[in-house]
Structure 1
Amino acid sequence: MLFYIASTLSLLISVVSGSALTFTLGAQETSCFYIFTTQPSTSVSFYFAVQSGGAFDVDYTIKNPRGEVIVSEDKQRQGDFFFTADATGEYEFCFANEMSTFAEKVVDFEIKFEEEDGYNFRANMPEQPNAKPIAHVESMQQTVDSIDQQLDGLARTLQYYKTRNNRNQATVKSTESRIYYFSIFEVLLMVGMAFLQITIVQLFFKGSRKQLV
């Protein structure tokens, strides 16, 4: 936290919490995660991306403390959105992979929420000869907030490129695997055709010899 000493400086404290996690979601499995808010009108941001597995998609649902569905979508590869948590209590974030019979998914997700405690702390400090004006402090705070937003955007962009890279690698590996097995099948087919041709020619000559006799 950046601050300057000044007389009668008022601060409104905001608590920012966040959680980032990468986990494996098994086939026909559902995993749920929870956050607990203590203040109404809490700002919640949510991001997820499927890194690998199957068609890179999952179903997800978000519910409020009353059990009401806030967001619910099926077969999504990634999501990035924001909502206001009006009710206090436990919010549920669930990911489902029930559409897959054998493919497991690797999912990255991040949840951030910000709460204001509602208290104003007033610090009565002795005046300093070189004290910075409050307006200058507010300008510095705005600059810090702007830098923080830009860093968040950069982190999301890097996360997006990471997701794209993982998906492209999975596509390349899948293509290589298909080419490999198709090549083996092609070789086996050629050997089988050669063997069948040799067998037919042998049977033809055997039949010709019997007719001559």
Structure 2
Amino acid sequence: MPRHEALVLLLCLLGLWLCPQVRGYFASVDAHVEECFFDRVSSGMKMSLTFEVVEGGFLDIDVKIIGPDDRVIYSGDRESNGKYTFAAHMDGEFRYCFSNQMSSMTPKVVMFNMDVGDAPKDRIEGDEQSQLEGMVSELSQGLTVVKHEQEYMEVRERIHRMINDNTNSRVVWWAVFEAFLLVAMTFGQIYYLKRFFEVRRVI
């Protein structure tokens, strides 16, 4: 029994140690502005960018991921959301930029996560500790992906709820306006007919 408890404790510690770095942010990108963020990583490290435009205009933005050698790793125009995963091809500072250059006056609010995992390690075949570390690392990364998917779905649900509330509000106000217009036209017609018959009677 103590050996089983020690194994569970070891798995928990390895999970915490091998857990990838997770950075989640909200950024406001003004019109005609490009905002860039940086991560310094080692070659072979797995990186994953997930983003969602949560507010502003048509909910679209230009995205770029650029390596330390100024090579464009990923580029997307007018995207509302997305996910891109890659392995660092060299040591150095990677930057990911959100550009709102195409917007004339509307700022955009972007929610994004940048996951930075560990570089792959050479494993010795038959080494139980290495295999255990590998399984814990994969489990940790899988849990991180699930967490980010849940956050992504929450943001999507909030955006759609805001759109629905906005649409419902417009429908209600339009119905009120139509009712007011109908009442005004009714009173207008009554007044016009009353005046018409009054004029006929005078003549």
TM-score using structure 2 length: 0.73
Alignment of 1:151 onto 2:143: yes
CA-based RMSD of the aligned residues comes to 3.2
3-state SS of paired residue (2:43):
coil
More helix by share: 2
**Residues in 2 aligned to 1:86 and 1:146: alpha-carbon distance in whole angstroms:** 21
> Who wins on radius of gyration, i.e. which is larger?
1
Cross-structure match for 2:50: 47
Give the counterpart letter for 2:114 in structure 1.
Answer: I
**Residues in 2 aligned to 1:186 and 1:108: alpha-carbon distance in whole angstroms:** 39
| Structure 2: runs of 5 or more not aligned | 1-8, 12-16
**Residues in 2 aligned to 1:185 and 1:34: alpha-carbon distance in whole angstroms:** 51
| Structure 1: runs of 5 or more not aligned | 4-12, 119-133
Query: Is the 8 Å Cα contact of residues 22 and 108 (structure 1) preserved in structure 2?
Result: yes
Cross-structure match for 2:134: 142
Alignment of 1:163 onto 2:155: yes
In structure 2, the CA distance between the partners of 1:190 and 1:103, relative to structure 1 (3 Å rule), is: farther
Q: Where does 1:72-83 land on structure 2 (aligned, <5 Å)?
A: 72-83=75-86
Give the counterpart letter for 1:60 in structure 2.
Answer: V
3-state SS of paired residue (1:86):
coil
Give the counterpart letter for 1:107 in structure 2.
Answer: V
Give the counterpart letter for 2:151 in structure 1.
Answer: Q
TM-score using structure 1 length: 0.70
Alignment of 1:191 onto 2:183: yes
**Residues in 2 aligned to 1:17 and 1:63: alpha-carbon distance in whole angstroms:** 19
**Residues in 1 aligned to 2:119 and 2:127: alpha-carbon distance in whole angstroms:** 22
Query: Is the 8 Å Cα contact of residues 21 and 117 (structure 2) preserved in structure 1?
Result: yes
- Determine what percentage of the aligned residue pairs are the same residue: 27
Cross-structure match for 1:30: 34
Cross-structure match for 2:201: 209
TM-superposed CA distance for 1:98, in Å, is 4.2
TM-superposed CA distance for 1:208, in Å, is 1.0
Cross-structure match for 1:93: 96
**Residues in 2 aligned to 1:170 and 1:29: alpha-carbon distance in whole angstroms:** 26
| Matched pairs, number | 186
